[in-house]
Amino acid sequence: MKQRTFGQTVYELRLRHDFSLRELSKASGVSYSHIHQIEKGLAAPSRDTVMAIADAMTEAVPDDLLMLAGYVPRGAVAETPEDAPVFQGSLFAERTAACLQESGASLGALAAATNVEECIWERWLRPASYWVPSQEPAPALMTLYKAARFLGVSPDYLAGYTEEQNSYHPLAPRPKNLRDVLFSDDFVFDHMPLDEDDKERLARMVYVIFDES
């Protein structure tokens, strides 16, 4: 199932709370016209706007909305090891734009591949002079990985952690690796135990799926 974008999620949450645009506007302090544009994927919200909308709806999960809108969740900085590389917003913008141009793909295609509104990508790819280090929006980790796969480079290169297009930084943040999980524990499938050969066959099947996608 395709993941909802930020705008789609806000729309669904608003309906779930039985809010009209004006009612959500009153509860959040965000203009109803801006909320409408956000829901349609025509406007990229600021971090404060995301939090205001999240606070106005009891079922909203603020960190989930922050990630969908292209911001680092509130607890992510505290969980980052001291010696981990720092996301370089200006390099990310520069390298992503260059890779996109080299690939010949459109920004819309990148947005579709990562399931992030094009207007949010436009904000991420703005010129380096507009980046404020203390307020940098940043893609969620899985968005970074999806973008890197679409562009044919490593996520660490896009994030500014490394200089080579296909290299990886040993201390960069990583999502869980399914292969590592598969081989690090015991599993059954419909009550049938999986041995190491079974796991290896499953891993090869996953590679086939990705090669065909």
What type of residue sits at position 41? G
Q: Dump pLDDT digits (tens) for 123-144.
A: 888 765 555 554 556 788 888 9
The pTM is what? 0.69
List the chain domain ranges.
Answer: 6-74, 89-159, 178-212
Beta bridge partners of 188: 193
Who has greater pLDDT, 77 or 66? 66
Beta bridge partners of 20: none
pLDDT for the residue numbered 1? 43
Give the range with max mean pLDDT: 11-25, 69-83, 136-150: 11-25
Who has greater pLDDT, 10 or 196? 10
Distance CA 102, CA 62 (A): 36
Architecture of domain 89-159: Orthogonal Bundle (1.10)
Q: Where are the alpha helices (DSSP H) in 75-124?
A: 76-79, 89-103, 107-114, 118-124
pLDDT for the residue numbered 199? 83
Distance CA 207, CA 60 (A): 35
Beta bridge partners of 192: 189
**Is the pLDDT confidence value at 207 over 90?**
no
Question: What superfamily would CATH give domain 6-74?
Answer: lambda repressor-like DNA-binding domains (1.10.260.40)
Q: Dump pLDDT digits (tens) for 149-178.
A: 999 999 999 999 999 999 999 888 887 777
pLDDT for the residue numbered 135? 54
- Answer yes or no: same fold for 6-74 and 89-159: yes
Distance CA 187, CA 190 (A): 10
Q: What are the φ and ψ backbone dihedral angles of 133, each rounded to 5 degrees?
A: -50, -40
